Copies of this chain bind each other. A is one copy, B any other.
Amino acid sequence: MTEPKESLYPEKWLSKASAGDRVACELRMQIISGLIESGTILSENKLAADFSVSRSPIREALKILASENIIRLERMGAVVIGLTEKEIEEIYDVRLLIETFVFERLVKMDTEELVNELSKILEMMKVAIKFKDADEFSYQDVLFHETIIRAINHSYILMIWNNLKPVMESLILLSMRVRFKEKYEDFTRIVENHELYIEAIKTKDRTLMVKSLHQNFDDVQGKVEDLWMSQQMLSKGVELENE
């Protein structure tokens, strides 16, 4: 199998990362994008050769991906699980679960600083949209939700987020790259939705919060579509490369 020349994961996000983290990020993107099909068996030795590193960082990467549920470590080789529609829905189940929990804590807190922080991030997102920078937009989008979650200072909720985050991030990256090309008009809706979310936190309005969460949730169907398109685009790219 030919590895892609360019990496799918933004390299500038890896400035201080170890080789293990790099491999994990790149493999994760390849798996979620469908470039590596689910069912594939990954060999530590082969991966080490492909990525030109030793088995140590590869082992580290596989452990990470296994904890994220996108591969399964078996007696011989790691089996790729990947993301089907079912898994994506499950991820959003969990996001809904924890963000609802977080909101219930937030209504008991002073949220002024948080609202301010979120407004700043939203402005950053708008700039990213203006300059059609999908990666930057994705970064800020993930940061937006992480900021909300961090606000309640709950180490075990944060733990769940940390386990979910890498997969979410990859998913959003791929989805946004497609949207910037094919569905640019989507972003006005995404911005509106985030404004709604901020408003809900500011006014501590539970119904508004549920509404914005559900709009966000409805977007999942879109994400599944994007992922499919992303897979089409990438596989065409590979085909062209092979000619």
What residues of chain A have their CB less than 8 Å away from a CB belonging to chain B? 60, 63, 67-69, 87, 90-91, 93-94, 97-98, 101, 154-157, 159-160, 163-164
Contacts and interface: CB of A to CB of B under 8 A. Distances in A.
B97 A159 contact: no
Nearest to A154: B90
Contact of A159 (B101, B157, B163): B163
Contact of A156 (B63, B90, B154): B90
Say whether chain A's binding surface is mostly helix, strand, loop, or mixed.
helix
Nearest to A60: B63
Given A93-B157, A97-B98, 11 more contacts: A67-B159, A67-B163, A68-B159, A69-B159, A87-B156, A90-B154, A90-B155, A93-B101, A97-B97, A156-B164, A163-B163
B155 A69 contact: yes
Contacts of A154: 90, 93
Contacts of A163: 67, 159-160, 163
A156 B67 contact: no
Nearest to A160: B160
Nearest to A87: B155
Contacts of A94: 156-157, 160
29 contacts: A60-B63, A63-B63, A67-B67, A67-B159, A67-B163, A69-B155, A69-B156, A69-B159, A87-B155, A87-B156, A90-B154, A90-B155, A90-B156, A90-B157, A91-B156, A93-B154, A93-B156, A93-B157, A94-B156, A94-B157, A94-B160, A97-B97, A97-B98, A97-B101, A156-B164, A159-B163, A160-B160, A160-B163, A163-B163
